[in-house]
Chain A
Amino acid sequence: MKYVNEFREPEKAAALSNQITQLCNQLKKPLKLMEVCGGHTHSIFKYGIEDILPSNLELIHGPGCPVCVMPKGRLDDAIAISQNHNVILATFGDTMRVPGSTTNLLQAKATGADIRMVYSPLDSLQIARDNPDKEIVFFALGFETTAPSTALTILQAAAENITNFSMFSNHVLVIPALQALLDNPDLQLDGFIGPGHVSMVIGTESYQFISQKYHKPIVISGFEPLDILQSIWMILQQLVENRCQVENQYNRLVEPAGNLIALQAMNQVFAVRENFDWRGLGEIPESGLKIRDEYGQFDAENKFIIPNLKVADHKACKCGEILKGVLKPWECKVFGTACTPETPIGSCMVSSEGACAAYYKYGRLSAISKKAQQLATSKST
């Protein structure tokens, strides 16, 4: 497959792995890099990238998985909307098993709610065209990669004057989340693997504060194994040369200014919320998107009464600490026992981009126990 297979060649991966080891040897200290995006987390596990990295280089799996950071209360709100007579709730498949406070969308569907999985928000608009006597609500979530597509869907609904369609927006923004992480004293990082597809929309300039204010290197990365390895190599080069800059490894898709058409659609339809609640990170100012008043007729929050309650996470679940990289999945008591992808207690076990699900599916027990030992040794010294 073009633009995929070329970036998966094992010989080149081996060469990069050797180069990375040499740079780590030069740096002579334990290093922590965070991959912000859940897509990177998934690739890192799927291709066993951690297995070919030196032992003093640790990857911290960040909060860039929209499913993982969705608070239970918002899920409860979506379920409440689906209970309304005459409503069809359309959603991406990722959300179906995210635990709300008592149930999830899959169980709500099993008990009679009309909940449909769609591939694209445009498919939910088609459901609205096909069912004029029903009220269709699209449960929208995702970072800046996804927000332009939902914005364009609302613009299409407005152009066609489709009145039985609305959206429950849970879109979130990457930059405020990074800011919150960098302000967290618990988290000591040496650099960031930057999100590739978000940057394809927002560009690379928005990350300058990471290098200028916090003096950390960040490299925007593609998702294939060679992309990720090359990005790690680029971050280490910066550390060796005592530089901290925003660099772009993914320049086949990411331009400095981003995608202006996508940004314009996003800004036309969405406004920034004053505050938005993130699972594990709490309230982050100006980190979520709501539908602008001009398009208020397409805002499900105006059309339906929703509980809008804050619900605390399960006491045993350590998703919050895992999302911040403070704890590892296997340090959570319920990991792999009470909490599995089939019966998730926390949302990091739901999505294949969540750190817990990735460890559960691809993590090698021997590697995990070795890492746990290393971690225990480093904590005791």
Chain B
Amino acid sequence: MCLGIPGQIIEISDINHKLAIVNIAGVKRQINIACIVNEQHPPEKCIGDWVLVHVGFAMNRINEQEAAETLKLLEELATAQAQITN
């Protein structure tokens, strides 16, 4: 029910209603971006953003730096484990 899928905003389709087109693994769909836009980040700046899509709404922007850091930590864990095993 709380499922969310990462997708990338490729076009603003209706700026007044805060609607955008998102690409999810090649599937394009119109979504609402009201939850991720404000004065600092207006709709026109959203193109290229990776967002989490839930029931037709972008619920939040994916923080690329945080994602990279999580992956780096996982990589370090795997390396440490490999050293213990060998």
Tell me if A149 and B66 are in contact (CB < 8 A): no
Q: Which of B2, B34, B50, B69 contacts A265 (CB 8 A)?
A: B34
Query: How far does the Cβ of A344 sit from chain B's closest Cβ, in whole Å?
Result: 16
A129-162: CB near B (< 8 Å → 1, else 0) gives 0000000000001110110110010001000000
Known interface pairs A15-B78, A142-B2, A200-B60; A152-B85 also in contact (CB < 8 Å): no
Taken together as a complex, chains A and B put the C-alpha atoms of A44 and B2 apart, in Å, by 15
Closest to A145 in B: B2
A97-110: CB near B (< 8 Å → 1, else 0) gives 00000000000000
Tell me if B35 and A261 are in contact (CB < 8 A): yes
* Chain B residues within 8 Å of A351, by CB: 1
Tell me if A1 and B6 are in contact (CB < 8 A): yes
A1-42: CB near B (< 8 Å → 1, else 0) gives 111101100011011101100000000000000000111000
* Chain B residues within 8 Å of A230, by CB: 70, 73-74, 77
Taken together as a complex, chains A and B put the C-alpha atoms of A201 and B37 apart, in Å, by 15
Number of interface residues of B (CB under 8 A): 41
B4 in the interface (beta carbon within 8 A): yes
Taken together as a complex, chains A and B put the C-alpha atoms of A6 and B49 apart, in Å, by 18
Closest to B51 in A: A253
A341 in the interface (beta carbon within 8 A): no
Query: How far does the Cβ of B83 sit from chain A's closest Cβ, in whole Å?
Result: 10
A251 in the interface (beta carbon within 8 A): yes
* Chain B residues within 8 Å of A62, by CB: none
Tell me if B63 and A253 are in contact (CB < 8 A): yes
A357 in the interface (beta carbon within 8 A): no
A226 in the interface (beta carbon within 8 A): yes
Tell me if A252 and B63 are in contact (CB < 8 A): yes
12 A–B contacts, CB within 8 A, in A order:
A2-B50, A16-B78, A39-B2, A120-B55, A123-B56, A141-B1, A148-B35, A197-B2, A200-B59, A252-B62, A252-B63, A261-B34
Further 13 A-B residue pairs, CB within 8 A, beyond A3-B62, A38-B2, A145-B2:
A1-B6, A12-B75, A12-B78, A92-B1, A121-B56, A145-B54, A152-B34, A196-B2, A200-B60, A223-B4, A251-B66, A253-B62, A261-B35
Query: How far does the Cβ of A360 sit from chain B's closest Cβ, in whole Å?
Result: 18
Taken together as a complex, chains A and B put the C-alpha atoms of A54 and B2 apart, in Å, by 28
* Chain B residues within 8 Å of A4, by CB: 6
Taken together as a complex, chains A and B put the C-alpha atoms of A79 and B55 apart, in Å, by 22
A89 in the interface (beta carbon within 8 A): no
Q: Which of A12, A67, A201, A252 contacts B77 (CB 8 A)?
A: A12
Known interface pairs A122-B32, A253-B52; A143-B1 also in contact (CB < 8 Å): yes
Query: How far does the Cβ of A21 sit from chain B's closest Cβ, in whole Å?
Result: 11
Tell me if A149 and B81 are in contact (CB < 8 A): no
Taken together as a complex, chains A and B put the C-alpha atoms of A230 and B73 apart, in Å, by 10
Tell me if A200 and B52 are in contact (CB < 8 A): yes
